[in-house]
Amino acid sequence: MDEAGQCIEPETIIPFKTFQPQQCLVVGDQNQLPATVMSQQAAGVLSRSLMQRLAEDLACACPMLDTQYRMHPEIVSWPSRRFYRGHLQTAESVLQRAAPSWMPKGFTPVTFVDCPQGREGR
């Protein structure tokens, strides 16, 4: 089950009933995005993902992959502290990446740019 961190229990019933697996591998990150619930009425009952329920209610061991390969270390520092107790690290290949040639000098990995609305901003 991929993206199990967002998967609510009713979604899992269909593949279990259809394929009747002998084993199930649950892959995802319960710290990243919450369970996806489109109905406000159902949100209270289905607010936790299947993976979150397994981790919390059944105390299942959920090993964490501790190396990320996409974000600049300055970008990943906040989620690492906030969600992963500082354990999320950046791969060496990302640390050695050069800035893109099109990036103006002085830009940082996180830059806020004011984008005025309307035609006058063009």
pLDDT at 7: 86
pLDDT at 119: 60
d(CA 31, CA 48): 11
Nearest by Cα to 108 from 66, 80, 82, 77: 77
Output the tens digit of pLDDT for each of the chain's 122 residues.
888 888 888 888 888 889 999 988 888 887 777 888 888 888 888 888 888 888 888 777 778 889 999 988 889 988 899 888 899 999 999 999 888 888 887 777 777 778 887 666 55
Total domains in the chain come to 2
pLDDT at 88: 92
**116 found inside a domain:** no
Domain span at residue 78 reads 64-109
- pTM greater than the 0.75 cutoff: no
Residues 28 and 77 in one domain: no
Residues 6+ apart with CB under 8 A from 60: 54
- Four-CA torsion 82, 83, 84, 86, nearest 10 degrees: -10
